[in-house]
Amino acid sequence: MLKGRHLIEPMDFSIDELEEIFNLADEIIANPENFKDICNGKLLATLFYEPSTRTRFSFEAAMYRLGGKVIGFSEPNSSSVAKGESIADTIRTIGCYADIAVMRHPKEGAPKVASFYSNIPVINAGDGGHQHPTQTLTDLLTIRAIKGKLSNLTIGFCGDLKFGRTVHSLIKAMSRYENIKFILVSPEELKVPEYIKKEVLEKNNIEFEEIEKLEDSIQKLDILYMTRVQKERFFNEEDYIRLKDSYILDKEKMNNAKKDMIVLHPLPRVNEISYEVDEDPRACYFKQAQYGMYVRMALIAKLLGVC
Amino acid sequence: MLKGRHLIEPMDFSIDELEEIFNLADEIIANPENFKDICNGKLLATLFYEPSTRTRFSFEAAMYRLGGKVIGFSEPNSSSVAKGESIADTIRTIGCYADIAVMRHPKEGAPKVASFYSNIPVINAGDGGHQHPTQTLTDLLTIRAIKGKLSNLTIGFCGDLKFGRTVHSLIKAMSRYENIKFILVSPEELKVPEYIKKEVLEKNNIEFEEIEKLEDSIQKLDILYMTRVQKERFFNEEDYIRLKDSYILDKEKMNNAKKDMIVLHPLPRVNEISYEVDEDPRACYFKQAQYGMYVRMALIAKLLGVC
Amino acid sequence: MLKGRHLIEPMDFSIDELEEIFNLADEIIANPENFKDICNGKLLATLFYEPSTRTRFSFEAAMYRLGGKVIGFSEPNSSSVAKGESIADTIRTIGCYADIAVMRHPKEGAPKVASFYSNIPVINAGDGGHQHPTQTLTDLLTIRAIKGKLSNLTIGFCGDLKFGRTVHSLIKAMSRYENIKFILVSPEELKVPEYIKKEVLEKNNIEFEEIEKLEDSIQKLDILYMTRVQKERFFNEEDYIRLKDSYILDKEKMNNAKKDMIVLHPLPRVNEISYEVDEDPRACYFKQAQYGMYVRMALIAKLLGVC
């Protein structure tokens, strides 16, 4: 039963609950017309204590495409709510006006605190470097929709695997499905943290390998998840110069990949995927943005209990 | 006849006109479904020359819950309208786009000037320290809804009674009803201004007493209206230390209050009401926020003439 | 066929295509009720990389009055989209959420670049000092609606004719119609640029005269288009003092104008039109703002292909 629930962390929902959301997303994608008024009379509050236009747009578009409406703020300055008031009081007041709330906050745990005091569902839209569960739902729906399954897949993550909450969440989430293999491509200093290897991968007997260069294993992948590597994160200039091209996906590397491999990226990209790759039918990162809207439509509808 | 009128000051409407608005609010509360499309095709402009998220949300939620739509700005930076253009020109332009306007402005009198030039109803959502008439309507509807009447009441105001426009407006508004008594609780330096005592209370033969400590009279009250007392407003440190706890409402003080006393607060609160009081059924400040939305729904509908 | 097209420059549409838009605008003005749901389920994205409240309001009101909905940002600060992402990626992402986009950008050409990569119609809402095509459409519809025609007119432009993109665009646009004469009123240093005289006026054999004082020729005009003259733009103080009153439209000058001359101004005005003129029925600048909304309604409907 998802009605009235909060979504604070990517693992808050069981595999079955996720399946319920994804199935609804499938239906929405197939017949958007059937869903265009189901949130008629419902109000979403978007509480963005730090700006994130892309995420905000995705939620607002989702609500509008369900026939609902939106109130909100998009940065802290414009929010007197933010001044001298506890999160508890804010969310209780918001609950007087709106039916569901999305919160983005620079402080880890803020949406969780809000959920304790809220009488309406709260969705975490990113709390500091901590969690961003609807990105994970987006990634899962995209894989499920394009590959037709969430099991029996070899998934490569490439780039900064140390600091990326997106990567960590997706590794955890995929680890719940059957026969998943990971190939983790990063420089030494940006490897996946030990606790993820121990508590997630090893604990669940999941096969993985860690490599330094994308070109070495791209041919094995069903999914390639790209993230950015910032120069500042390298310990020394030499390593950066030696390795930087290994974390840029270009046409040449794509030539060695499977015909049905798909490329994902949470966006925005800087230069880690060459523009020439955009034309490749395997480049799915803009489709991914679209699935992001659909999965949020399904999520909102489920938490509101209108579907 | 409220259609086409402006609301600039709390006393702009007669008791009968307020009654008309409150009766509509009652109907909306009872059957919100019946009103969810009455503003279909109507557009509200929210012109916030200074931010006030809570007030803006309340108006926007009100309009959306009537089936209307909203354009607006939430702070002066984002408003080129604000630059080098007279209020007169701005409101005349807004009148080309929208059907009704809400204005919040740091300068006293700005909404009044706008109303002179406007061909659409203008609602003052706060002009400097001057007026905030929809807060007064909110307070009146809340009292009327929960106590079942606006007469024969003993009302306590506690905190800073000198600078609070909310307090002054509500004293004036309640003074129009029968058999009202006020108990005014504040430190010496933050007492209700003389002109209110002379021109409102004494002129209308209204019984009132001024006391320094809330605990001394809380047992007499039907309504306790709390406001914040800022340390900086005290003349000396000694007084502040001696008195500060008298302006904080806690469980202990609540134990001496009537069983059906209600506690109101315009929000946001800082620490003038302890969190422990929130669970007390007499704590009505979040309900008050909800009545604020309903009274704005009724107000908008009346000024637009759709009800 | 306008469906799916972009509007980047004022001359992007042929005279016939403009006629199609203006005819639809006429219908909307006559029977707005018939059009209030035609964009039901459609989403407009307003991408304002610099603030322009008036233009944004006009587009948003237009979309709402067609039954559509709006997502967007109103200034760059609140836009993480703006950070480190190419215009190409931004518009492709927006295309995942919205059905049509309006872009205002401080850099010339940005909306054009966006249109190259966009799978949804892009409307330029102003790119630096370059183009502002919907202002031109507004001006044309206003003239057509009030004068009943776009040919056989003597049009005066008064003020800063050197830097005003609005003036340049309208001269070009009007030059496509029959028997148009221009009277260009400006100080020497703010005359219409040579390339417009050569490439537009002379090339099309259009009659025009350049004069220094409005009072000298106001009696000849069917339309007077006022713009502001900034003191800083004068080369010397003497000229400014000698001429400044010639660029302020007042009652006295209006006395010498034709009974059916109309006064236009893109707004906001500062002091170039005296407030006393507002009451004159020939003052049409607020009507113009209203036509601005109607022409945007027609434009959006045509580009979306819903009419």
Max CA distance (Å), chain A: 59
Place of tokens 């803020």: A110
Q: Which of B39, B53, B265, B271 to mutate to test the interface with A (most CBs of A within 10 A)?
A: B53
Task: Tell me: do C198 and C272 sit in the same domain.
Answer: yes
Q: What is the pLDDT of residue B83?
A: 58
B159 and B104, same structural domain?
A: no
Distance CA B45, CA A14 (A): 43
pLDDT at residue A83, as a whole number: 58
Any domain includes A235: yes
Taking the C-alpha atoms of residue B153 and residue B179, their distance in angstroms, rounded to an integer, is: 7
Do C60 and C177 belong to one domain? no
Sheet containing strand C69-73, edge to edge, reads C69-73, C43-48, C100-105, C122-127
With b for 16 or more beta-carbon neighbours within 10 A and e for fewer, the A146-159 pattern comes to bbeebeebbbbbbb
Q: pLDDT, tens digit, for every residue of C51-101?
A: 899 999 999 999 999 999 999 998 876 555 555 789 999 999 999 999 999
In a domain, A63, yes or no: yes
> Is A41's CB within 8 Å of B74's CB?
no
Per-residue pLDDT tens for B190-218? 999 999 999 999 999 999 999 999 999 99
Point out the domain boundary residue: B83, B113, B131: B131
Same domain, A84 and A179: no
Is C59 contained in some domain?
A: yes
Do C149 and C119 lie in one domain? The reply is no
Same domain, C202 and C117: no
Q: How close, in Å, is residue A199 to chain B by CA atoms?
A: 39
Q: Which helix (H) or strand (E) holds C182?
A: strand C180-185
- CATH number of the domain at B250, please: 3.40.50.1370
> Testing the interface with B: which of C40, C47, C64, C231 to mutate, by most B Cβ within 10 A?
C64
In whole angstroms, give the CA distance from residue A255 to residue A230: 25
Whether A101 and A168 map to the same domain: the answer is no
Q: Classify residue A7: in a domain, yes or no.
A: no
3-state SS, residue B152:
coil
Alpha-carbon torsion C146, C148, C151, C153, what sign? negative
Q: What is the pLDDT of residue B237?
A: 84
**CB–CB of B68/B44 below 8 Å?**
yes
Position C43 scores a pLDDT of 98
The dihedral built from the CA positions of residue B268, B270, B276 and B282, taken in this order, carries a sign that is negative
Answer yes or no: is C20 within a domain.
no
| Residue A44 bridge partners (DSSP) | A70, A100
* Strands (DSSP E) found in chain C: 43-48, 69-73, 100-105, 122-127, 153-158, 180-185, 207-211, 223-226, 262-264
Radius of gyration of chain B (CA): 20
The annotation status of C104 as a binding-site residue, yes or no, is yes
**pTM given for the model:** 0.95
Is C132 annotated in a binding site? The answer is yes
C143: domain range?
A: 134-289
Q: Are residues C127 and C190 in the same domain?
A: no
What amino acid occupies position C250?
Answer: D
Write the DSSP string, A208-257: EEEES-GGGTGGG-SEEEE----GGGSS-HHHHHHHGGGGSB-HHHHHTS
Q: State yes or no: A83 annotated in a binding site.
A: yes
What's chain A's Rg over C-alpha atoms? Answer: 20
pLDDT tens per residue across span B99-151: 999 999 999 999 999 999 999 999 999 998 889 999 999 999 999 999 999 99
Instruction: Judge whether C197 is annotated as a binding position.
Output: no
Decide: B118 and B6 in contact? Cβ < 8 Å.
Answer: yes
pLDDT tens string C19-36 = 999 999 999 999 999 999
- Rounded to whole angstroms, the Cα distance separating B100 from A154 reads 58
Task: Give A158-173 pLDDT, tens digit per residue.
Answer: 999 998 889 999 999 9
Parallel, antiparallel or unpaired: strands C69-73 and B262-264: unpaired
Tokens representing C232?
Answer: 């800083």
Give the count of alpha carbons within 13 A of A180, CB side only. Answer: 24
**Per-residue tens of pLDDT for chain C, all 307 residues:** 999 999 999 999 999 999 999 999 999 999 999 999 999 999 999 999 988 999 999 999 999 999 999 999 988 765 555 557 899 999 999 999 999 999 999 999 999 999 999 999 999 999 988 899 999 999 999 999 999 999 999 999 999 999 888 999 999 999 999 999 999 999 998 999 999 999 999 999 999 999 999 999 999 999 999 998 877 777 788 888 887 788 999 999 999 999 999 999 999 998 899 999 999 999 999 999 999 999 999 999 999 999 9
Residues A154, A259: one domain? yes
User: Which of C97, C131, C165 marks a domain boundary?
Assistant: C131
Is B306 inside a domain boundary? no
- Show the CA angle centred on residue A208, arms to residues A205 and A211, nearest 5°: 160
Residue C2 lies in a domain: no
**How far is Cα B241 from Cα C148, in angstroms, rounded to an integer?**
76
Q: Which residues contact C176 (CB under 8 A, 6 or more apart)?
A: C15
Chain B CB contacts of C56 below 8 Å: 71
Provide the token pair at B219. 């047992």
At residue A77, the pLDDT reads 67
Q: Is the complex ipTM more than 0.90? A: yes
Distance from CA of A142 to the nearest CA of C (A): 14
For tokens 């005091």, name the residue.
A117
Residue where a domain terminates, one of A101, A131, A161: A131
Tens digits of per-residue pLDDT, B16-31? 999 999 999 999 999 9
Tell me the shortest Cα–Cα distance from A15 to chain B, in angstroms: 35
* C207 and C281 belong to one structural domain: yes
C144's tokens: 């057509």
Taking an 8 Å cut-off on Cβ atoms, the answer to whether C75 and B73 are in contact is: no
Mean pLDDT of B254-277: 95
| A242 touches B at CB < 8 Å | no
Domain count for chain C, please give it.
2
What pLDDT score does C83 carry? 58
Low-confidence ranges of chain A (pLDDT < 50): none
Q: What is the pLDDT of residue B80?
A: 54
Amino acid B290: pLDDT: 98
| Cβ of residue B126 closer than 8 Å to a chain A Cβ | no
A154 and A240 in a single domain? The answer is yes
Task: Answer yes or no: do B171 and B77 share one domain.
Answer: no
Joined tokens for residue A39: 């949130």
pLDDT, position A76? 73
Chain mean position to CA A146: 16
